[in-house]
Amino acid sequence: MLIVPWSLQVTSRAVFEPGADDGDEVYKVGTAFPLLQALQRVNKRLLEENPDESLLFDVVLITTNTQQQQRSSSIISSTRHYGLDVSRFCFSSEEDFVESLLKNNVQLFLSADRNEASQASQKGVLSALLDQHSASCPPEQLKVLFSGDAIIRPDTDPTPASRQGAQTFLAQLGEMRRRFGAFDSPLSIVLVTVTGGRESCGAALRTLRSHGVSVDEAYCLAGAPRAPILSLLRPHFLLSDGLGGLEE
Over pLDDT 70: what percentage of the chain? 85
Rounded Cα distance between 214 and 105, Å, is: 26
What is the model's pLDDT at position 3?
45
Answer yes or no: is pLDDT of 210 > 60: yes
Rounded Cα distance between 233 and 227, Å, is: 10
Answer yes or no: is pLDDT of 21 > 50: yes
Mean pLDDT along residues 55-68:
83
What is the model's pLDDT at position 67?
67
What is the model's pLDDT at position 248?
42
The string of pLDDT tens digits covering residues 150-192 is 888 765 555 655 667 788 888 899 999 999 988 889 999 999 9
What is the model's pLDDT at position 4?
47
What is the model's pLDDT at position 68?
67
Domains contained in the chain, CATH given: 6-135 (3.40.50), 142-239 (3.40.50)
Answer yes or no: is pLDDT of 45 > 50: yes
Answer yes or no: is pLDDT of 130 > 80: yes
Mean pLDDT along residues 30-44:
93
What is the model's pLDDT at position 144?
93
What is the model's pLDDT at position 35?
93
Given pLDDT bands bounded at 50, 70 and 90, which one contains residue 245?
A: low
Mean pLDDT along residues 29-35:
91
